[in-house]
Amino acid sequence: MRILVTGASGFVGSLLIPRLLAEQHEVLGLARDPTRTHSQAALVRGDALTGEGLAQALDGVQIAYYLIHSMERSVDAAIPFEQREQLAAETFATAARAAGVQRIVYLGGLVGDTHINSPRSRHLASRESVERVLLAAVPDSVALRASIVIGARSRSFRLLVHLVERMRVLALPPWRRYRTQPIDERDVADMLVAAASSVQAGGRSLDVGGPDVLSYGEMIERIADLMLVHRPSLGIGVNAMGVTARVAAAIVREDPDLVVPLMESLQSDLLPAEDHAAELFGVRLHSFDAAVEHALGEWEASERLAAR
Distances (CA, A) of 143 to 70, 75, 108, 192, 198: 18, 28, 7, 9, 12
63 secondary structure, DSSP code = E
* 72: DSSP letter: S
User: Rounded to whole angstroms, how far apart are CA atoms 129 and 303?
Assistant: 36
Q: How is the chain split among helix, strand and coil, in percent rounded to 5?
A: 45, 15, 40
Class of domain 2-150+181-209+273-281: alpha beta
Average pLDDT, the chain: 87
pLDDT digits (tens, 9 = 90+) for 256-268: 666 666 666 677 8
Regions in the chain scoring below 70 on pLDDT: 70-78, 112-120, 236-248, 252, 256-265, 306-308
258: CB partners within 8 A, 6+ apart: 71, 72, 155, 249
| Domain ranges, ordered by start, for the chain | 2-150+181-209+273-281
Task: Give the model confidence (pLDDT) of 3-48 as tens digits.
Answer: 999 999 889 999 999 999 999 999 999 988 888 788 888 999 999 9
Q: In this structure, what are the phi and psi dihedrals at residue 144, rounded to the nearest 5 degrees?
A: -105, 135
Instruction: Give burial (CB, 10 Å; 0-12/13-18/19+) of 157.
Output: buried
In DSSP terms, 92 is beta-bridged to none
In whole angstroms, what is the distance from residue 272 CA to residue 207 CA?
A: 5
Rounded Cα–Cα distance for residues 301 and 308 (Å): 13
